[in-house]
Amino acid sequence: MKKKKTIIIKNERLSQIRNNLRRIIVIAVNNRIKGLTNQIQSVRVNDLGNYRELNDSEKGIVHELREERNNLDRKLKESICKCLQCGRVEGNMIYNLVFKEWHCPDCWTATKLEYERTKALADSGKPTGDYAFDYYSTFAD
Residue 113 lies in a domain: no
Amino acid 81: pLDDT: 96
Residue 53 lies in a domain: yes
Residue 130 lies in a domain: no
| Burial category of 93 from C-beta neighbours within 10 Å (exposed 0-12, middle 13-18, buried 19 and up) | buried
Amino acid identity of residue 104, one-letter, is: C
What span, in angstroms and rounded, lies between the C-alpha atoms of 84 and 38? 25
- β-strand partners of 124: none
What span, in angstroms and rounded, lies between the C-alpha atoms of 44 and 65? 12
Amino acid 133: pLDDT: 83
Q: Considering the chain, what percentage of its residues have pLDDT values greater than 70?
A: 99
Supply the pTM of this predicted model.
0.82
Residue 136 lies in a domain: no
How much is the average pLDDT of 1-11?
Answer: 84
Does 39 have pLDDT greater than 90?
yes
Amino acid 52: pLDDT: 80
Residue 25 lies in a domain: yes
Residue 71 lies in a domain: yes
Residue 64 lies in a domain: yes
Does 1 have pLDDT greater than 60?
no
Number of folded domains that form the chain? 1
Residue 11 lies in a domain: yes
Amino acid 136: pLDDT: 86
68-118 confidence digits (pLDDT tens): 999 999 999 999 999 999 999 999 999 999 899 999 999 999 999 999 999
Residue range(s) defining the domain that contains residue 54:
4-104
Size (the chain), residues: 141
**Confidence bin at 65 (pLDDT 50/70/90):** very high
What span, in angstroms and rounded, lies between the C-alpha atoms of 59 and 34? 19
- The C-alpha angle with vertex 106 and arms to 70 and 17, in degrees rounded to 5, equals 70
What span, in angstroms and rounded, lies between the C-alpha atoms of 55 and 127? 51
**Confidence bin at 37 (pLDDT 50/70/90):** very high
